Structure 1
């Protein structure tokens, strides 16, 4: 049951109660929650805090009290009013709640924590938490049913006071504030029980623990006064286009640049989706001004930055982006050539634009770091401010100058400062045109949308683009026949602005204010123009980024390719921008194209080539012509043709129709320059040469590297509550060969695995809907084991043909003996990985050949190398690559090395190498298949020097049958002999490694078992011995169960008799004659 609640701060709070707990009137509590007689309860409070954009619930420990016990609690006349939660002043300072904050509370039963890690931020607190007083008091409180020991990850210790903690209550409270819960499991907030494992650590080296809040108010900012001269202020009064003192290198080296930057009002601005962030509460303007702010006409900054610049809140300034292109090599009218002398004059004067500076509070989050020394503008304001320049991924420098003089007809403010009095005038008439876009139907009726938008005064200037959200207006969706997945944002271009007097009419550098009380709005026709992007309603994420992590290089290459074709100065190219982007399915092709269009303010028209297929070639041509015609209507536009390999295929036909392909090539070459044709394909070999030649630019989206996968995982999991112990770097190594789609599936499966784990641990018998809701409010952490479970599930569903290599789980302890062999392998493979600088010295060997008798552990050694070195492992047996079709065997060899290069660091293991690469000229096959396979293998081995993270390990029983070209330096240049275990010590190590996973009786002596073993045993022979002993034990157990002397639930234990019976039947697999032959081979290759 939930109830409304209100926080009431007390001047004096009871000293015996934790300052972060709350008090509740017993009479009001019994009225709202009858039949509950405990003196202490746990509430789940949901209320909005200024420091948090969400209403995430927090657990509160509430103590029931009466007016007699706590006189500070005001008497309640009406018990039906919101539940009064009496708090201390520290409570409001710590959690950031405003006085008299209202919210909802719900009684709940917290989940018991299995583990909590407590960090001490002072030496005294660490000494106190490590003492017996703390542990004994914690144990007694946890065993008492009337006490609740709450703990919240990232928060201070919330346990109540107990006399065992110490006699000085104030000192105990201070120690508790110095203790922080660094990690809680299985949920982020719960109760400490007697079964909770408590770990105390010293975290004094941490400046501020993540997730904690300051316990006191921040000290007011002090402004450092610097000696300035009158000439400095005179320079500040100059125009925006004048030279800058910051251009003087001598002044930059004196440390005076910060003062000059503030003096000239140069600030770094970053383009973010202001409308979405203000709705989500991540950017919070002051409460008294939120309803009257034009978010697309304001620069949002922190109070400290405003004081540094010496400006007033909501003051009007004229901004100019630094380092923009001039009109000689840039389009004139924000995406199109200037059509009138007035617009040409505006471009000639520069890109000065009016804006208001607004003070706001920034809420930091993992997916978006809002910094206090940076100003933030919306994409629409940047578009208008920079005259249509591409949206910057990072911050850009903007020079601003305050509007010194009030313009004629402006609204005067009651202020002693002339800067505060200056304000743009209201426009008498505003003429706008609808921008044609594929996101909405430009022929709809938008009267209600415009009326609602101009309820607030908006900044307008001739040539500006206005972005108007449509959420809450269903008539816009009803007029959109093409379907929708979110509320569209309408774009209008300001054609003309008329002031109240003639001198104010025209494209001056200053703008106007327009609202429905002072301005007459005139709607014109439609116009083609660039339009700034908007992700209204979407939180900043990987999918809305201008530079998607891990795909930034391709996105930047695509942007630099598209940009020249969209500028007027590139008309001399006289060609159409056509780009063919190829990558496997799920690589992120559409994501990088969408990011490039957002950055360049281009419209994006997506067409799946499946929809262009038809029964006849003529019908297919008509569909293609319709798609290209629609793209021409939305210029400047990018026409995205997805799955180009399917275009032109008639229904029932396996090959594309030549007529349809010819029509496609003609449509591409005849497209206007303002339409860029971008096509995506999984495999470019599926396209005909004529279609490939029609594209001027061809790009390949490579498989992400380890660092790129780590960046993708960090961005994709930004919205997940990840555990502190999760290592994304190690996870990126384990996901070698994964694409963007695979990583998305991995993150999703990890979240589901965490959900299953919590349900099974907290509610083994099943959870109700209310319990699942509470579990979500308690906080879920995705652990490393959840990602491991998801990774295993994902790898199991992947076929080997997809190319998702799997790292085996074999450790060195699983390989008994062979110490010298292990050392040589590590020196060959692990040393270059740990010290890449050795590669420049030529100290690198790409090939390693293991040879010796069968059953000595060559395959197991290769798997252990891949696991211990954290490498991707590709196991290939020689006969698997041989194919009956001409050229397919060589293709299989190339495919293996291609997979390895796509998943570095990778280890390719060729088992039975003698069957794959015999001596050339002696194979005897009529087609010479084996000779060509050996030649292809040699070519691939020679190419490994260009990729330093791919190693090849071969295993064979007969190295004398291999082609001798494989054994030269640079290929398999390191030969390691893996022999049998002849000494008893080596046999004992192998036996211990094998029985490590078995349950052996304590009376069994492994050295005694080894003493009875023959001298010439391989690792496979010893494994056969243990397997035979296990079989004997199973038969014995079955016999005892049949006689009723044992049960199926008892453990299966290996006894000495089981080993004795297995030893009687043991025969070495390598005879003396074979062993002598292998030793001769060893001597032959050792002397080389």
Structure 2
């Protein structure tokens, strides 16, 4: 929340967007000005809501709502002694509902709802305007300098998304601010701000003359119509009524009669034909809009309704409620309903209701408030809930997913009996049993009862927040003379729960009389007996804190404002598969079922995943959701000087977890307790594995004795380092893998929910770019983007203060995310070799047109049409590129990955080899697992013949190469069949396909072969030279066609790269010689202009012109480089590669025979070839299945025998 002075809201009808301030508020702001000799006419102020509420669906859809409004204000000329008041024009009220809130009823002493502070407007560097009509565009285009000057002279705050106009521009539609940089709102400064005015678009006139926000039209019913802030009468509000309801005497009688009223019959609500506003004022009372189906002419008020309860994630400020409750009223017994539900019950907002089924001992009284505009209308699953504080919802003891009955209490103001004595017991938890926090939670308990007049009953749970950081400042014993300091204002970081174990009524408690039916009498009896709750008066009630109880606890972390309290969705993914969170939730909930302890279940879970994948976050979220207490422990902190001390520390933590049951004990970094290498060296299992099993048995015995389970969870980043005996001690294993694209998109949306995102940012595209990044990496990415945005804004507005930038609003742009992604990728790739999308385009690839089409057909089809492979059809994702060295195999693979937006993972053959037994095969598994985590991904195996040669021909005694080949074949088969490898493609490159193991060339593996040879014509050579020299500065007289005509046909792509590099080097050498000659000529003619001999550095920096130092590659540079170039592949070697190509011509997609066959098929008028040889319109050219059998037999072992 931004600091400022509290102020009231009123409406004024003066034209323009400037505010008017009362004299008292004006003087307070003037006192904050420094160095101002005279009183200014205008002040630039920032306005923000004092009580921000949760975003509703309407406001969240805007996506770019400002947190503060920077606007110019002047002193009110009709001030009549009103206090700190802001008079706001209608235009700002309608366009910024998130700042000014929903309509408020009139009150004698309303609470200030706004904060105002001085601000310095930030000068905008660039503004993009969209003209509303042709005349507006003509005015801006006629004289750009005059247009810029007029905007600067107006000195008004320009906001992105709003309309601006000029005073002397005549009858024009104005201009809409499409973009403003570097902040979302600022002022135009002549000579500094750049403008781009766009012509009107379709619907521009409607955009310029758009109506006010429909959801904010209610403001005019209650806002002031003059500078005095008086409320409109019922006559004006009826004109703007939107709901079809008539508020008559019968309806009012349902809520405003005295406590001794008679029981009323159901009241019909008839909709009149002329109703336009959602707010009506009758006899000084405010009613909220009611919603009913339009087909029903009338609907009686119900005696009770059934709603779906939901827990509040953050408290609703009392000043925002209608009517505003007293300051000392308990904020726990409250229920927030839709206005439609209030109308069905015949209630006003603030009336008392009974929550809970009749006859239920846990039912109680609560005040029902309208939650419209304060809380989301729908929950995450699309249902329409009723919101309750989490402690109230827990004290109702409802079953999971159970509904809640709400009925009118028929009490205008119930008088709860006062408790004479109350006994409070601690709920066992890691914080409540720790003596270091005893003084903190006792002070918090005292503050809990002193702050409000609480309404409690026996068995209720209450929650007290404590700040763990202040525990070290607490003294052991306080002296009698010590001054009692006020409670710390720091935010709580933990929760301690208490339970009311005993409650006795005071004999002087008052009673409430109701004349009515049996239901009212029974309700009165329950109220007098304290069954619906009792007042706990800290000055009249005797409070005693003693005892220790066990209970599950509600999730109050978000309600108390504890950081890092975000919950994780436990719903299955889009395919219906169980997520790690849902699996753990089911496992924990099973332990809470009645009689679960009789089955002797082993409540031990191992959560594995890479570092930063969210293992601890998942455990924390499930613990809060299920009500378990959480005791975290880092195993590195358990390690002692010997195994005996480590065992003692572990057993002590187990005992503490048993004393806090139901509890979840989280052992982080379980690999620290025992190392796998220790077991290999000694030949015995580690001692800690036995200790862990004994501790787990102790936890099961404690479950049976206390009735509350202790679930032991452990996390491991690398399970291969954990001994087998330790892994065997955990009966359940949950793996958290790298999030897929939908999961990353959900995480990014959650992380940027409170940030302003620029229109040029696509979170969906960002989710594709962040493949292989885990949750913690995405958090770091968003932090880097925010830091990049701050650096960008400070660079464009170096004189702006941080608070001014906060007021003006800074949006995260695509440039910020690109910079953050580049930095995150760079650090991530250096640490673990993360795959990333390369930056090689088809412009960098010269020639290879036929190869490009064939390889894209194989890879793009599964990506663009996954439905073709949904019925079990296997895709062919393995491609083998072979040919002479330097023909562009690696470059081609990178270009394919770039064009298809695939991550590129390059693996060199020797990188997989390891001296230890089994590690080489493990490296192959890690490569494919990392690619699956980064999908869609391309694995590129360079020099494949070095890692997958023919089995049986190697001379290594251990058979390492054979095992690598076998593991590679297994991964390729699993990738083709498993769903985890659906978006993983494998491309291999080799110079000698005849040395590969024949099994690699079978269908489902590398079954697509492409030959990349040298260019056999000068046109292809010209395309390669043009691609290599597209960033060169060429001489205007050069002809690359002549250069290509001089090249022989045994030049590879690498040779052409050497040719172009040598030509550039010779051009640079020639230019350097020319500069040296010029300097020598100048130095040979004294006197020197510089007083001494010229140096090359001084000449290039001070005297040389751009034309003198520009390097142009000429024809003679290419000819000189061509004369010195030696081909990397001789003619004899080229003949050998031709023989190899002919040998594999039947498997090669771009062989001469298949290219000729494609040309013949393309020439047929109605022959559309399909993969199985069948043609549309009855035309078929391929042979039947019997003829294809010999071709298939040529692959595999038959081919190996031929070799």
User: In structure 2, what is the Cα distance between the partners aligned to 1:4 and 1:505?
Assistant: 43
Q: Does 1:592 align with 2:618?
A: yes
Going from structure 1 to structure 2, the CA distance change for 1:75 and 1:628 (only over 3 Å counts) comes to closer
Q: Does 1:143 align with 2:162?
A: no
User: In structure 2, what is the Cα distance between the partners aligned to 1:675 and 1:868?
Assistant: 53
**Alignment-derived partner of residue 128 in structure 2:** 116
> Which deviates the most, 598-607 or 50-59?
50-59
Aligned positions of 1:225-244 closer than 5 A: none
**Alignment-derived partner of residue 719 in structure 1:** 754
User: In structure 2, what is the Cα distance between the partners aligned to 1:750 and 1:470?
Assistant: 33
Aligned positions of 1:43-62 closer than 5 A: 43-48=44-49, 56-61=67-72
Q: Give the one of 723, 727, 739 matched to 1:704.
A: 739
User: In structure 1, what is the Cα distance between the partners aligned to 2:383 and 2:919?
Assistant: 61
The answer to whether the 8 A contact 2:303-2:408 is kept is: no
> Which deviates the most, 799-808 or 630-639?
799-808
Aligned residue for 1:358, secondary structure, equals strand
Going from structure 1 to structure 2, the CA distance change for 1:958 and 1:997 (only over 3 Å counts) comes to same
CA deviation profile, 1:969-995 (whole Å, cap 9, x unmatched): 111111111122222332222222222
Q: Give the one of 991, 1006, 1015 matched to 1:972.
A: 1006
**Alignment-derived partner of residue 1047 in structure 1:** 1100
User: In structure 1, what is the Cα distance between the partners aligned to 2:212 and 2:769?
Assistant: 29
Q: Does 1:574 align with 2:600?
A: yes
The answer to whether the 8 A contact 2:129-2:195 is kept is: no
Q: Does 1:791 align with 2:817?
A: no
Q: Does 1:460 align with 2:456?
A: yes
Aligned residue for 1:59, secondary structure, equals strand
Q: Does 1:875 align with 2:873?
A: no
The answer to whether the 8 A contact 1:46-1:55 is kept is: no
Q: Does 1:930 align with 2:922?
A: no
Going from structure 1 to structure 2, the CA distance change for 1:778 and 1:371 (only over 3 Å counts) comes to farther
**Alignment-derived partner of residue 1053 in structure 2:** 1019
Aligned length: 982
Aligned positions of 1:1003-1082 closer than 5 A: 1003-1044=1037-1078, 1047=1100, 1050-1082=1109-1141
**Alignment-derived partner of residue 663 in structure 1:** 691
Q: Give the one of 163, 166, 172 matched to 2:168.
A: 163
1:628 shift after superposition? 1.2
CA deviation profile, 1:637-684 (whole Å, cap 9, x unmatched): 111111111126899999898444322210111112221111112222
User: In structure 2, what is the Cα distance between the partners aligned to 1:717 and 1:692?
Assistant: 38
**Alignment-derived partner of residue 558 in structure 1:** 584
Aligned residue for 2:554, secondary structure, equals coil
1:585 shift after superposition? 1.7
1:374 shift after superposition? 3.7
Going from structure 1 to structure 2, the CA distance change for 1:479 and 1:153 (only over 3 Å counts) comes to farther
User: In structure 2, what is the Cα distance between the partners aligned to 1:371 and 1:204?
Assistant: 33
> Which deviates the most, 720-729 or 179-188?
179-188
Q: Give the one of 517, 523, 526 matched to 2:548.
A: 526
User: In structure 2, what is the Cα distance between the partners aligned to 1:510 and 1:366?
Assistant: 29
CA deviation profile, 1:253-277 (whole Å, cap 9, x unmatched): 99999989977512233212343x5
User: In structure 1, what is the Cα distance between the partners aligned to 2:1041 and 2:636?
Assistant: 70
Aligned residue for 1:972, secondary structure, equals coil
**Alignment-derived partner of residue 988 in structure 2:** 954
**Alignment-derived partner of residue 184 in structure 2:** 188
Going from structure 1 to structure 2, the CA distance change for 1:475 and 1:55 (only over 3 Å counts) comes to farther
1:385 shift after superposition? 2.0
The answer to whether the 8 A contact 2:427-2:548 is kept is: yes
CA deviation profile, 1:297-334 (whole Å, cap 9, x unmatched): 2112354543354333233323349xxxxxxxxxxxxx
User: In structure 2, what is the Cα distance between the partners aligned to 1:1016 and 1:866?
Assistant: 28
Structure 1: where are the runs of 5+ without partners? 66-71, 227-232, 239-252, 322-345, 404-417
Going from structure 1 to structure 2, the CA distance change for 1:36 and 1:143 (only over 3 Å counts) comes to farther
User: In structure 1, what is the Cα distance between the partners aligned to 2:816 and 2:895?
Assistant: 24
**Alignment-derived partner of residue 276 in structure 2:** none
User: In structure 1, what is the Cα distance between the partners aligned to 2:214 and 2:1065?
Assistant: 62
CA deviation profile, 1:43-85 (whole Å, cap 9, x unmatched): 14244366668994432245x79xxxxxx823899xxx99997
The answer to whether the 8 A contact 2:22-2:79 is kept is: no
User: In structure 2, what is the Cα distance between the partners aligned to 1:873 and 1:561?
Assistant: 38
Q: Give the one of 298, 322, 337 matched to 1:301.
A: 337
1:101 shift after superposition? 7.3
**Alignment-derived partner of residue 317 in structure 1:** 353
Larger Rg: 2
**Alignment-derived partner of residue 229 in structure 1:** none
Going from structure 1 to structure 2, the CA distance change for 1:104 and 1:820 (only over 3 Å counts) comes to same
1:921 shift after superposition? 2.1
The answer to whether the 8 A contact 1:42-1:108 is kept is: no
Q: Give the one of 895, 900, 904 matched to 2:926.
A: 895
> Which deviates the most, 734-743 or 212-221?
212-221
Q: Give the one of 868, 886, 893 matched to 1:838.
A: 868
Going from structure 1 to structure 2, the CA distance change for 1:993 and 1:739 (only over 3 Å counts) comes to same
1:589 shift after superposition? 1.0
After TM superposition, the score normalised by the length of structure 2 is 0.73
User: In structure 2, what is the Cα distance between the partners aligned to 1:49 and 1:421?
Assistant: 29
Q: Give the one of 399, 420, 431 matched to 2:405.
A: 399
Going from structure 1 to structure 2, the CA distance change for 1:573 and 1:867 (only over 3 Å counts) comes to same
Aligned positions of 1:606-645 closer than 5 A: 606-645=632-671
Going from structure 1 to structure 2, the CA distance change for 1:896 and 1:492 (only over 3 Å counts) comes to same
The answer to whether the 8 A contact 2:914-2:920 is kept is: yes
CA deviation profile, 1:672-717 (whole Å, cap 9, x unmatched): 2221111112222323333222222222222211111111122122
Going from structure 1 to structure 2, the CA distance change for 1:968 and 1:716 (only over 3 Å counts) comes to same
Aligned positions of 1:804-883 closer than 5 A: 804-839=834-869, 840=871, 842=873, 844-883=875-914
> Which deviates the most, 260-269 or 1005-1014?
260-269
**Alignment-derived partner of residue 326 in structure 1:** none
CA deviation profile, 1:552-593 (whole Å, cap 9, x unmatched): 922221121112223332122123411111112211111111
User: In structure 2, what is the Cα distance between the partners aligned to 1:999 and 1:117?
Assistant: 38
Structure 2: where are the runs of 5+ without partners? 55-64, 105-109, 220-239, 248-253, 255-263, 267-292, 478-487, 510-524, 704-708, 1080-1098, 1148-1203
Q: Does 1:271 align with 2:311?
A: yes
Aligned positions of 1:305-384 closer than 5 A: 305-320=341-356, 349=360, 352-360=363-371, 362-363=373-374, 374-384=385-395
User: In structure 2, what is the Cα distance between the partners aligned to 1:549 and 1:802?
Assistant: 31
**Alignment-derived partner of residue 330 in structure 1:** none
1:774 shift after superposition? 2.2
The answer to whether the 8 A contact 2:377-2:384 is kept is: no
Going from structure 1 to structure 2, the CA distance change for 1:804 and 1:440 (only over 3 Å counts) comes to farther
**Alignment-derived partner of residue 13 in structure 1:** 14
Q: Does 1:692 align with 2:723?
A: no
The answer to whether the 8 A contact 1:4-1:82 is kept is: no
User: In structure 1, what is the Cα distance between the partners aligned to 2:30 and 2:934?
Assistant: 64
Aligned positions of 1:761-776 closer than 5 A: 761-763=796-798, 771-776=801-806
Going from structure 1 to structure 2, the CA distance change for 1:59 and 1:759 (only over 3 Å counts) comes to same
Going from structure 1 to structure 2, the CA distance change for 1:117 and 1:37 (only over 3 Å counts) comes to farther
Instruction: Report the RMSD for the aligned CA atoms in angstroms.
Output: 4.6
**Alignment-derived partner of residue 413 in structure 1:** none
Q: Does 1:478 align with 2:474?
A: yes
User: In structure 2, what is the Cα distance between the partners aligned to 1:614 and 1:649?
Assistant: 15
User: In structure 2, what is the Cα distance between the partners aligned to 1:603 and 1:747?
Assistant: 31
User: In structure 2, what is the Cα distance between the partners aligned to 1:717 and 1:900?
Assistant: 27
